[in-house]
Each structure stands twice: as C-alpha cells, then as structure tokens.
Chain A
C-alpha cells in the first residue's frame, strides 16, 4: 500500500488516516475528502468507515459491502445465492454440534470474522472439536475438499481479473508473492459473479480446485494483491479513476458492478 499511496500523492492530495493509532472524536467525523479508501481490516477502521458512510462519505470499497465481506456468514450466503460454488457451510455456537457432520468427511473451521488464514483448522475427528473455542462467537465450518495443486488467488481491480497461484500455508516472501497465471473463462466467470453479488470492484477470492471443481473458500474486500504484476500502479490508476468518477457526480463503483445490476 505505501507504493500506491506514493503514486497517488503525485497525482492528488492524499491524507492518511490510522484510526488505531489516533484518538478520534466521533463528533468530528465528517466528509472532508472526495473519496475515502478503506484499506485496513481492523475493526475500528471498519466502524469509522461506517460512521463516515452514515454522514455521506464516498468510500472505496463502499462500507456496507466491506462490512458484509468481513462476516463470513453473510458473505458465504451472498455467494451461495449468486450461484458461486462454495463448500457446504454450517454455523453454530456449539462446536460439538458439528460432530455428526464429520461422518461425511472433514470440515474446515474458521473464525467467522477472520482473515489471512488465521485460526483456520481442518477437523477430522469429533474430539478435535473440543479444541475449538466458541468463546469468540459463532463457529463457521465448511466441508473440506482436498485441494489439488496450489491455491488460486483471484484478484479483481475495477473489473480486471488477475490470477495468482500460491502455496498454503505461506512460509517465505516468495510463497507470498506466488506466481501469476492466465485464468480461464470459468474462473473469470466465478470472479465476476462474486463481484456483482456484492457490488465490489476491489476484492480477492481464495479458490481451491478439488476433483476438478473450483470452490470459492474466501472473499476479501481490498486484499494485498500480492503477486499481481504492477499491482501498485494498477490500484493507484483504479483509485484515481474512481475519484474522478466521484468528482464528476457518478458513483465510485460503476453501475455494472453495483448490487442488483446485471
């Protein structure tokens, strides 16, 4: 992101806001910029984006959409409804209720508001469920599908769709950057379907292939876009064009991407 910021600073006036490092008076939250870019995944940043949204700020990605993406329960249902292939998904507050589901195969259990693979467990046996604490709220579980080959990261910047193959878990910087690949129309279709389902233009998908079938196992609003060639320049170019659309009186997110549009 620093590289994106330094490019944007050459082209426009940019202020950086770090809510976690500042004391913010809520009464002072008002619209002072043409466009706000919500990059941080921290809870306070998301809430302050919501506060800005409530007073009429234009935000990229739009706050309600970023908030939906953050909650895997909501996000997964939106994806299911849009016909996106996702693993069978269950939610509960009592992890032991997942036990009977293990008869049909292992589950992947994740924090329902987690990111970057933190707190993800593959559960094979009922006794492993005891290790999963429900103290932090709902338990989110998906049917485990044995991945074939490396995970596919699909990144979208303003409708442009990029593919990066990445090993998981990530151990080195090289692992993190992954390897760009030319994505096939089937994956592109899935990626665009996801974007349209949310009304998102900046997002990332985690896709695995199992038995030759793709499954979207996560969606994130404004990820790091690691491995996308010239990602910083492309992001800066897109954010700049979104700001222009705003200043011309148009929505930052284009009509074709907004929810409810075909």
Chain B
C-alpha cells in the first residue's frame, strides 16, 4: 500500500513545476554544471523546493529552497527531478 502511495506522487522535472505547491528533490544530475552549482548551495535529494517566478519570456525560472532564492534556466532545471510533497 505504502509503495503504491509513493508511486502516486508523480516524478517530474524542476522545469515543469507550477507556482502552487511544494516539491521535494528526488534526483539531481551532477554532470550539469549549473546543477552542480545549486548542489553546493544545498539543492540535494530530500531538499524541499518551490517555484517563485517565471521570467516574462518563459525562461529562466526562479526557485526558492533553504533560504536561497536562485534563478536558473529551464534547460538546467530539467536536470533536477522532483516530486510533489
């Protein structure tokens, strides 16, 4: 039962999340330099994160986690997987 429930939290990319709701990082691609940079700021699996803004032309996006308010491009955000909390 519990297994099924965790599965129902669909995994998605950080680039796809919406402004409402909190998300938790499940997987990061450390090969991506931007992601590696965010990791050294604490964006690691288990960390909660939320989307705060999208730029007028759709890219980049701004996310907030653990006191950090960071801007990153969508292509890099695609290298981070999150699940809804």
A binds B: no
Hey, which bits of chain A sit against chain B, CB under 8 A? none
